[in-house]
Amino acid sequence: MMKNIFEAPFVREMCETTANMYRLGWDERNGGNISYLLDEKEVGEYLDLTKVLRTIPLMGVNEEDFDASPLEGKIFIVTGTGKYFKNVEKDPETNLGIVRIGKGGKNIELLWGYKGGGRPTSEFPAHMMSHIARLKVDPENRVVMHSHPTNTLAMNFVHDLDEKKFTHTLWEMCTECIVVFPEGVGVLPWMLCGTSEIGVATAKKMEQFRLVVWAMHGIYGAGKTMDETFGLIETVEKAAQIYMLTAHLPRKNTIKDADMLKLIELFGISCRKDFLDL
Ligand code: 2HA
Ligand code: ZN
């Protein structure tokens, strides 16, 4: 007896996370996308893995510059292209899909979802390349998340986009920022989204960072769990909010770099020391 896929923890997590992100105002219309690497054995409790509903080519992507073969056979649950985060919870089968990367990484096999002819997010190349990059650094990485958080975006328009300066300002805005993302935040200039080019650039940053800002577009996060990944973006967004609430006001107090270093020592972790001014 197969278990009910609508009750699968990974489907529930996708529903809850997209609903939270929508309610926070981060994912208007079809903005944002999530991909989540699943455990084959666990998925097998809910779906017959020999039953492929549809084979979907890796659309809009030049075969020579997007090689998904390192992910061959891996199964992901992914938000659908053109679908709204607002609607995932009430209709996961239309708005989400469970896909397996096909032979040679040339296509994907739909195992569940995308009811009515959907397909994975237009940012699928950036997601898959980010998974490949993160798995090399952290074999336990499972989640890649893209979103348009309001204050993070606002900050892109008024703050220097230099990685060190951008990270430093975020670290200064909340005491725990440096502990949550000690490696800092990668920043890409404005680039055309949905392309392999932005996927390659994002994945390159993902070798160093779990967070990558797409200037004047949004942010990418990666992590072992949905909570870790959401928490990373949430913490950046909180810091950006405090920055946007205070940037135009005279600054009377600040968290000093020497104090940030004390935090790093207290938590026994290492950080991008070259992002501090000591
Ligand atoms: O999926 O956010 O970057 C819609 C987007 C594209
Ligand atoms: Zn986007």
The first and second tokens of residue 244, run together, are 């946007």
Ligand 1 midpoint to CA 83 (Å): 10
Q: In this predicted structure, what is the pLDDT of residue 65?
A: 59
Taking the CA of 33 as reference, the closest ligand is 1
Q: Are 14 and 92 in contact (CB under 8 A)?
A: yes
In 3-state terms, what secondary structure has residue 86?
Answer: helix
Q: What is the DSSP letter of 24?
A: T
Taking the CA of 126 as reference, the closest ligand is 1
Q: In this predicted structure, what is the pLDDT of residue 196?
A: 87
DSSP 205-261: HHTT-SEEEETTTEEEEEESSHHHHHHHHHHHHHHHHHHHHHTTS-------HHHHH
- Which atom of ligand 1 is least distant from the CA of 79? 1
Q: In this predicted structure, what is the pLDDT of residue 58?
A: 78
β-pair type (107-113, 143-147): unpaired
How far apart, in whole angstroms, are the C-alpha atoms of residue 220 and residue 145? 6
The residues with which 100 forms a beta bridge, in sequence order, are 75, 109
H helices present in the chain, as ranges: 9-23, 40-44, 85-88, 92-95, 124-137, 150-158, 163-173, 177-180, 196-206, 226-246, 257-266
Ligand 2 midpoint to CA 193 (Å): 7
Backbone dihedral angles phi then psi of residue 61, each to the nearest 5 degrees: -125, 130
How far apart, in whole angstroms, are the C-alpha atoms of residue 76 and residue 73? 10
Q: Tens-of-pLDDT digits for all 278 residues of the chain?
A: 899 999 999 999 999 999 999 999 999 999 999 999 999 999 999 999 999 999 998 765 555 557 899 999 999 999 999 999 999 999 999 999 999 999 988 899 999 999 999 999 999 989 999 999 999 999 999 999 999 999 999 999 999 999 999 999 999 999 999 999 999 999 999 999 988 899 999 999 999 999 999 999 999 999 999 999 999 999 999 999 999 999 999 999 999 999 999 999 999 999 999 999 98
Residues whose CB is less than 8 angstroms from the CB of residue 241 and which lie 6 or more positions away in sequence, other chains included: 150, 151
Protein residue with least CA distance to atom 4, ligand 1: 31
Taking the CA of 125 as reference, the closest ligand is 1
Q: In this predicted structure, what is the pLDDT of residue 64?
A: 54
Terminal Cα-to-Cα distance of the chain (whole angstroms): 61
Identify which of 85, 86, 96, 193 to mutate to test ligand 1's pocket (most ligand atoms within 8 A of the CB): 193
Residues with CB under 6 A from ligand 1: 30-33, 121-123, 146, 193
Amino acid in the structure at residue 227: D
Ligand 2 midpoint to CA 27 (Å): 8
Q: In this predicted structure, what is the pLDDT of residue 98?
A: 98
Identify which of 121, 144, 150, 197 to mutate to test ligand 1's pocket (most ligand atoms within 8 A of the CB): 121
